[in-house]
Amino acid sequence: MKILFVTNDLMAGRIGSAIAQHLGPNTRFFWISEGKGSQEWQVAGLHAEQRQYPAHNSTEGVLIDLAITTVVVGTSSPSGIEFDFALQANRMGIPVVVLEDICGGHTRLVEKGHINPALVLTCDDIASSLVWKAYPKTKILVIGHPNAVVVRPDPILTIWIENLRREFGPVVLFGGQATFSDLGLVLDCMRISEGVLIPRFHPKLVDKRVGVTTMGDIWREMSGRINGGNFDYPDASTDQLAAAADITCSGFSSLLTTAALAGRVSVSLWTPEVAQQLWIENKLQQVPQVALGISHSISEATRLEKLNPTMSVEEARERVPTLNPISGARAIESLDR
């Protein structure tokens, strides 16, 4: 069996590389990524023969050159070559497996055109029910969330957070996405709340041009009005900050899950623009973490320090299945039988 993984975003790369490491000895795999998903494959430290295969101009050429028998694609935003390879595999009669890292992720492929997956691997039961509506005859398997892990902050980061907490009060992390209204809402909250704000912005959007400036520059200027400057710990990942900060606020970022699983307060910032973006990206009308009950949802200025976690860490872990890459690997290999 020869598998080609096509994963663009970080989460798609995280799921794909985890599954690849549990494939059997008779299975060979290659991977292609035109986005940040490549980082996850590199971190995995795969063997030389399982290295990245360069993308050709022709998706058909890649599949023929490598004699691929199964194509596994992520549901990144935008889907880019993930959709291109899935479509070409369908045309050639090669089974397609879809890796979904967020509820509704499959719609990013659906909206570009019709593909016929042999298998869809989802993050939870809510996601599976949505996939079933789109692909009622397709095999669907829940393998868990790629970020359903308890992140343990670096000790030095913990000390830095504690120093901020002593000086300013509760530490609030903001995870920026594709709108400015979510930051506007959290700034309104900070004006009536105790504490300090740490702004972090989506890596795919921070350098996106908006007129003569960038989204990142606008975000930083907006957040600086509250703190008198931007607090950050550049050596820490945003996931580590979400696990260490007292409160994490975002529209619908996976950081909300990270915070909840660390026993922190998780807050979805629900604005008309966030609702529109969630629908555009995932065709959802409710933030998944809110639907699962692990996150608050606010739509107006709220005193953030008054909020508590919606449930215990143990309860949150029960609602957010941990990624099971072995189950995913076995399901993919079963397509070759």
- Percent of the chain at pLDDT > 70 equals 94
Fold of 155-319: Rossmann fold (3.40.50)
Kind and range of the H or E run holding 336: none
For 74-133, strand residue ranges (E) read 96-99, 119-122
Write the class of the CATH domain 2-146+321-336: alpha beta
pLDDT band at 290 (very low <50, low <70, confident <90, very high): very high
Which residues are registered as beta bridge partners of 73?
6, 98
pLDDT confidence bin for 211, thresholds 50/70/90: confident
Give the distance from CA 285 to its chain's centroid.
18
pTM of the model: 0.81
| Range with top average pLDDT, 60-69, 79-88, 290-299 | 290-299
| 95-122 tens-digit pLDDT | 999 999 888 888 888 777 788 899 999 9
Residue 58 has what pLDDT? Answer: 82
| DSSP, residue by residue, 15-77 | HHHHHHTTS-TT-EEEEE-SSTHHHHHHHHT--GGG-BPPPPS-HHHHHHHTT-SEEEE---S
For a pLDDT cut of 90, what percent of the chain falls above it?
A: 47
pLDDT band at 215 (very low <50, low <70, confident <90, very high): confident
> CA–CA distance from 262 to each of 39, 62, 168, 259 (Å)?
24, 42, 22, 5
Angle between helices 181-192 and 272-282 (to 10 degrees): 140
What average pLDDT is seen over the chain?
87
Are 120 and 131 in contact, with CB atoms under 8 Å apart? yes
The per-residue b/e assignment along 246-267, b for 16 or more CB within 10 angstroms, e otherwise, is bbbbbbbbbbbbbbbbbebbbb
- Verify cis geometry, omega within 30 degrees of 0, for the bond prior to 78: yes
311 pLDDT band (50/70/90 cuts)? very high
How far is 66 from 282, CA to CA, in rounded Å?
Answer: 32
Find the mean pLDDT for residues 160-170. 92
**CA nearest to 183, candidates 135, 224, 146:** 224
Question: How confident is the model over 292-313, as a mean pLDDT?
Answer: 96
At 332, the pLDDT band (50, 70, 90 cuts) reads very high
Identical fold between 2-146+321-336 and 155-319: yes
pLDDT at 214 over 80: yes
Give me the residue label for tokens 């992520």. Answer: 74
Domains in the chain: boundaries? 2-146+321-336, 155-319
Query: Tell me: the pLDDT tens digits for 234-257?
Result: 888 899 999 999 999 999 988 999
Strand partners, 29: 3
